[in-house]
A and B are shown apart, each in its own frame.
Chain A
Amino acid sequence: MSILHTVNKSPFEKTALAACLNHITPDATILLFEDGVYGALQGSQIAAHMQQTLTTNKIYVLGADLKARGFDTDRLIPGMAVVEYDGFVELVAQHDKVQAWL
């Protein structure tokens, strides 16, 4: 049973991403969008935890929301994958369930 976890909160404002990371199983995928994209950036307090998560789970970032916040993809932690809305839809279809960490 694969689950797509969506996180739309900044990890520096809310604990949604931390809660998500504490609950995911190895076959789960994370999608960061809206303010959630801040969790995908290099050099932050949470970057080491994200890097470690990337060794077991795939993490995607919504490109439009990253760009809207003034970041290029070269600011991402290596290993993060960028998708647009069509990729978001494909991820939803590929997983059995979607869990939104609101």
Chain B
Amino acid sequence: MKFAIQINEGPYQHQSADSAYFFTKAALAQGHEIFRVFFYHDGVNNATRLTTPPQDDRHIVNRWAELAEQYNLDLVVCVAAAQRRGMVDEGEAKRNGKDATNIHPRFRISGLGQLVEAAIQADRLIVFGD
């Protein structure tokens, strides 16, 4: 079965950022397909490659990136939510005249249409948030 995942909350802030990961991991382990993971609202903060948690804590960003590497997941960050929060990739940095980027290379920035498409294409949309 095809699942789409939506995450509305940031890492180390709300449990939903962890719940979404554990759900996605369990779904993949059962052989389900994850059509897309869409990071919306404060959820876009799950995509910063500059995250540096203490060594004995989970690395939420790398955890997503590793799962994406293993299963070739499409991790999409909402562009409008990202711009508001200073989440920038190279294209956005150039376009908006910023001097740095912080999006992890395993994530990509795109629009809300990607969430709508995921909701249409997937058999189930599961939303995690506050």
Q: Do A and B actually bind?
A: yes
Q: CB within 8 Å of B: which residues of A?
A: 6, 8, 33-35, 64-65, 84-86, 88-90, 92-93, 97-98, 100, 102
Contacts A85-B25, A85-B26, A86-B30 known; A93 to B1 CB distance under 8 Å?
yes
B73 within 8 A of partner (CB): no
Contacts A93-B124, A98-B125 known; A86 to B29 CB distance under 8 Å?
yes
Q: Which residue of B lies closest to A92 (CB)?
A: B124
- Contact partners of B30 in chain A: CB under 8 A: 86, 89-90
B38 within 8 A of partner (CB): no
A85's contact among B8, B16, B22, by CB below 8 Å, is which? B22
B126 touches A100 (CB 8 A): yes
- Besides the known contacts A6-B126, A89-B27, A97-B124, 16 further A-B residue pairs in the complex with CB atoms under 8 A apart: A8-B19, A8-B128, A8-B130, A33-B19, A34-B15, A84-B26, A85-B25, A85-B26, A86-B26, A86-B30, A89-B26, A90-B30, A92-B124, A98-B127, A100-B126, A100-B128
Can you list 11 residue pairs at the A/B interface with Cβ under 8 Å? A8-B15, A8-B19, A8-B130, A85-B23, A85-B25, A86-B26, A89-B27, A92-B126, A100-B127, A102-B8, A102-B129
B126's contact among A84, A90, A98, by CB below 8 Å, is which? A98
A100 touches B129 (CB 8 A): yes
- Contact partners of B107 in chain A: CB under 8 A: none
Contacts A98-B125, A100-B128 known; A89 to B23 CB distance under 8 Å?
yes
